[in-house]
């Protein structure tokens, strides 16, 4: 095991070894720290994205005030989920982790929208919840124009604690006692041109699967951003790609955790 991992385990008073070992074996997760946010902690990741050169992201704790944590990433990350956890604050209470901020879905759908969704107190990780537990759900709608075309946007945001895993292998290293969570944004776009019709049928435009290991933090995230518009010939003069699909992955390579 890497020296950095040994250091992290030495400082993690709550970390312990478990006897079973499997990438998909659900087991009970005790009340431990799956996202340790000490002031000196940092994590480095191999970052890959469809159509882009491989890169490295370095995540670190920028500041701590009471139970509110501000994370940052060295240089610039183009990973959406890395942006979600660094551009928003994280509140921690009794083993529950909440985002405080927002996510801009318009960035995903080619900037034809200006849709900033409020994520204040959006729980995204829990030390206490069972597998397949919904942690957060929000739905809403907005009206705005794209040029002269009135649009109605209907959305929902959901986070689910999907799996409690005894172990997971990432980059050749085995991490024990792992929580898998999913962050999802579903969007529908309706246009009004004489009549109302779907410009985009309801669909998941953002899906993030993130894995948090006990005593370490996030060890991997897999993000899919995609959309498929309806027949744009119903709206004259709208020159815009009808489909898009992109994947983004982060895999841990190095870390220092001092709880």
Q: Which DSSP symbol is given to 15?
A: -
Residues 129-179: tens digit of each pLDDT:
999 999 999 999 999 887 788 889 999 999 999 999 999 999 999 999 999
| Phi, psi dihedral angles at 6 (to 5 degrees) | -60, -40
Which two tokens mark 249? 């992955």
Which two tokens mark 239? 């020159």
Average pLDDT, the chain: 84
- For the residues of 155-197, what is the DSSP string, one character each? EEEEEEEEEEEEEEEETTEEEEEEEEEEEEEEEEEEEEESEEE
Spatial CA neighbour of 76 closest among 86, 64, 62 = 86
Segment among 12-21, 142-151, 159-168, 226-235 with least mean pLDDT: 12-21
Give the pairing of strands 173-193 and 68-73.
unpaired
Taking the CA atoms of the chain, what radius of gyration do you get in angstroms?
20
Which two tokens mark 125? 């990780």
Q: Is 80:248 a contact under the CB 8 Å cutoff?
A: yes
Residues 30-48: tens digit of each pLDDT:
344 899 999 899 999 999 9
Which residues are 240's β-sheet partners? Answer: none
Note the pTM of the prediction, 2 decimals: 0.85
CA dist., res. 30 & res. 44, Å (int) = 26
Q: Which residue has the tokens 């928003």?
A: 88
User: Looking at the predicted structure, is the pLDDT value of residue 7 above 60?
Assistant: no
Residues 186-201: tens digit of each pLDDT:
999 998 877 788 888 9
């Amino acid at each position: 095991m890497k020296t950095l991992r040994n250091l992290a385990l030495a400082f993690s008073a709550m970390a312990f070894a478990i006897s079973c070992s499997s990438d998909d074996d659900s087991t009970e997760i005790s009340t431990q720290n799956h996202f340790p946010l000490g002031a000196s902690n940092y994590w480095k990741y191999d970052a890959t994205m469809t159509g882009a050169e491989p890169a490295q992201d370095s995540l670190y704790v920028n500041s701590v005030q009471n139970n509110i944590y501000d994370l940052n990433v060295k240089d610039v990350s183009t990973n959406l989920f890395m942006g979600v956890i660094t551009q928003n604050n994280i509140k921690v209470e009794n083993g529950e982790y909440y985002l405080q901020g927002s996510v801009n879905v318009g960035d995903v759908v080619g900037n034809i929208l200006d849709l900033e969704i409020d994520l204040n107190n959006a729980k995204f990780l829990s030390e206490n919840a069972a597998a397949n537990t919904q942690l957060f759900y929000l739905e809403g709608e907005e009206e705005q124009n794209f040029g002269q075309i009135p649009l109605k946007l209907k959305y929902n945001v959901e986070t689910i604690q999907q799996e409690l895993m005894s172990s997971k292998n990432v980059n050749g290293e085995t991490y024990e006692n792992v929580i898998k969570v999913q962050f999802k944004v579903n969007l529908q776009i309706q246009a009004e041109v004489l009549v109302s019709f779907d410009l985009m049928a309801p669909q998941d435009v953002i899906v993030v699967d993130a894995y948090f290991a006990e005593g370490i933090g996030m060890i991997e995230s897999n993000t899919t951003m995609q959309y498929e518009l309806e027949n744009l010939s119903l709206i004259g003069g709208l020159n815009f790609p009808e489909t898009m699909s992109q994947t983004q992955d982060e895999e841990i390579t190095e870390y220092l955790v001092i709880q």
